[in-house]
Amino acid sequence: MEKTYPPVVLITGSARRIGAEIARIFHCNNFDVALHYNSSSNEVRALEKEFNTVRPNSAKIFQAQLTNTSAVKEMGQKVLSWKSQLNVLINNASSFYPTPLVDANEEQWDNLIGSNLKGPYFLCQTVAPALQKSRGSIITVADIYARSPLKGYSIYCIAKAGNAMLTKSLAKELAPNVRVNGIAPGVILWPNTDEQMSDETKQQVIDKVPLKRTGNPLDIANTAYFLATSASYITGQIISVDGGSSLYS
């Protein structure tokens, strides 16, 4: 009898927050998990240890700065060498901070476009042959602000709008063997730094959500798992997981 191997998922930005929750969902459903990180080494090593304690050699960490195309491509090749296959790529990593037009600069442009659009694009290019071979899927984590921009965050919104078009473009280009879909989270987690949003601003944001609450990283993780494993006739779509916020955009 031919030996079968667990499917493999690569998740960018998997050390913390939504990325770590996605990794846990896939791992507990018997995926081997390639954990990408940029600088959160302590968190990602703890996650790798957690997974490998459950199933030895079921997780491995890979470091790359997504704004560095050479590093992105090298990381993709290392992932493919690890298990010699890839079934799912989840482009989750992202940078997010305000860039008011009056003082936005080129460094911010390069960082936000690089992490949200350029890096994911060239990672897709690197692993696409493996995904075609496995008839796998790509999932991008976009944002509801790709469709209806957030004031003062123009570069981020531009990058996420490009990310949404990346999803649709690659869905056409990689069909029929690879499905490509996106998830547009609404208010799931607040920014890492408190100074980005005051409590008053947070409440104003929640007041605009029909369900009147924030979501949970598990909402995004479950949607990613559904798109990867149970959505065989869905491609080129971006699913809003936003408590209904998109009803008003």
Residues classed as catalytic: 156
Q: Which residues lie across from 183 on neighbouring strands?
A: 141, 239
Query: What DSSP line would sit under 14-66, residue for residue?
Result: -SSHHHHHHHHHHHHTT-EEEEEESS-HHHHHHHHHHHHHHSTTSEEEEE--T
Residue 190 near residue 227 (C-beta atoms within 8 A): no
Residue 76 near residue 50 (C-beta atoms within 8 A): no
3-class DSSP state for residue 162? helix
- Using CB atoms within 10 Å of the CB of residue 54, give its burial: 0 to 12 exposed, 13 to 18 middle, 19+ buried: exposed
Cα–Cα nearest to 122, from 78, 57, 68:
68
- Using CB atoms within 10 Å of the CB of residue 189, give its burial: 0 to 12 exposed, 13 to 18 middle, 19+ buried: middle
Query: What DSSP line would sit under 68-123, residue for residue?
Result: -HHHHHHHHHHHHHHHS---EEEE---------TTT--HHHHHHHHIIIIIHHHHH
